[in-house]
Structure 1
Amino acid sequence: MKKFYSNYRSGSIRIIAGQWRRHKLPVLNSYGLHPTTDRMRETLFNWLNPMIKNANCLDCFTGSGSLGFEALSRYANFVTMLEIKNYLVKQLEMNLKRFKSNNGKIIHTDTLFWLENNKGKPFNIIFIDPPFNSNLLDKTIFLLEKKQWISNNSFVYIEKKSTNIINYIPNNWTLYHKKTAGKVTYSLFMVKNNLIK
């Protein structure tokens, strides 16, 4: 089984700030699951602090829910969470019920299929943190642009193994922040009007 980062061996994640600060959420051991570390989440949400309140967010590969629930804790308006593994979906739904939140929705789906075949309002903040060896980054970025899921002046977060290369970054995406922690690189992009129609 794929190992978690050292601070997740207990099988839980800690919400860092907001209305659910210091609450812990159980995390199921799952191959390919790599919850975003406390330090990385703290840095990311410091970047997003001026934008997160009242934002409509999309978590493309929810996994443990560390990003989606952190966004909800910090008063995001709504977070749509996509996850393909049924047992992770059930755990995420239990976590959402625990907080009695009506501002999140867990969707059991393949992310690429959902992006390709659904329509809806574009999102203000999008999290892309797929399994590291899945080759899903470029396809996800392309569909987000093609299907116009990103609203103007919005932000996209990407977390990946440092050795993985993103081959497709649209010209209307501007790198806002970037950091590396160990073998992981995480970046935040600002997105202007979509190029692909």
Structure 2
Amino acid sequence: MSVGRIRVIGGTLRNSRIEVPDLPGLRPTTDRVRETLFNWLQPVVEGARCLDLYAGTGALGIEALSRGAASVTFVEREPGLAAALKANLARLKAPAGDVARDDAARWLQGSARPFDLVFLDPPFALDAWADTARRLEDGGWLAPRAWIYVEAPRGAVFDLPDTWLPHRQGQAGDVAYALYRRTPADPLS
């Protein structure tokens, strides 16, 4: 298995390299999209409890750690990617990152704890956006005013919870990306 590299865009780990296994279907979020996303998130990422579902390379979660997130839980089912992610976190001395080698849907059946920021970027072939969003919303995984980043193929259509309000969105090549803000169903929350 050959290895590629991507770099951390900003924060304390800026310009650090993340080693990436060469696996079919692996599609790391591009530098340009990560830079845009973290410009949007700048006021909220510091101190945030983050969840990087379908972590893949872990680039989104590692970027969050670099920019001051309190913790990131990475969920990745592919053993080679989970191992590479653990190795990258150890090499980068990022103890606030925790890797769960598990299927995201199965992991979301566990004991919920609310996250402030969730990265939802499943493999495009899974078509898992609507189901995962429902599990996050209904399962108690989101803080009352959580931020949720969604990355999908350009033109993809899927239902997201009514409590997820679009904040910002963009496109890069064949990829569409959007940042949502959760608004509690109970206006007194």
Normalising by the smaller structure, the TM-score range is over 0.9
Residues matched between the structures, number: 185
For residue 145 of structure 1, give the secondary structure of its aligned residue in structure 2: helix
Deviation of 1:153 after TM superposition, in Å, equals: 1.3
Provide the C-alpha distance between the structure 2 equivalents of 1:120 and 1:147, rounded to a whole number of angstroms: 6
* Number of the residue aligned with 2:123: 131
For residue 21 of structure 2, give the secondary structure of its aligned residue in structure 1: coil
Are 1:56 and 2:46 counterparts?
no
Of 80, 88, 107, 2:81 maps to: 88
- Write out the 4+ residue segments of structure 1 that deviate beyond 3 Å after TM superposition: none
Provide the C-alpha distance between the structure 2 equivalents of 1:32 and 1:150, rounded to a whole number of angstroms: 28
Provide the C-alpha distance between the structure 1 equivalents of 2:18 and 2:74, rounded to a whole number of angstroms: 16
- Does structure 1 retain, via aligned residues, the 8 Å contact 2:75–2:102? yes
Are 1:142 and 2:113 counterparts?
no
- Does structure 2 retain, via aligned residues, the 8 Å contact 1:156–1:190? yes
Q: Deviations over 1:16-69 (max 9, x none)?
A: 000110011110011111000000000000000000000000001100111010
* Number of the residue aligned with 1:183: 174
- Does structure 1 retain, via aligned residues, the 8 Å contact 2:3–2:22? no
Are 1:152 and 2:155 counterparts?
no
Deviation of 1:10 after TM superposition, in Å, equals: 7.5
* Number of the residue aligned with 1:26: 19
Q: Unaligned 5+ residue runs, structure 2?
A: none
- AA aligned to 1:97 is A
Of 133, 150, 155, 1:163 maps to: 155
- Does structure 1 retain, via aligned residues, the 8 Å contact 2:49–2:71? yes
- Does structure 2 retain, via aligned residues, the 8 Å contact 1:152–1:194? no
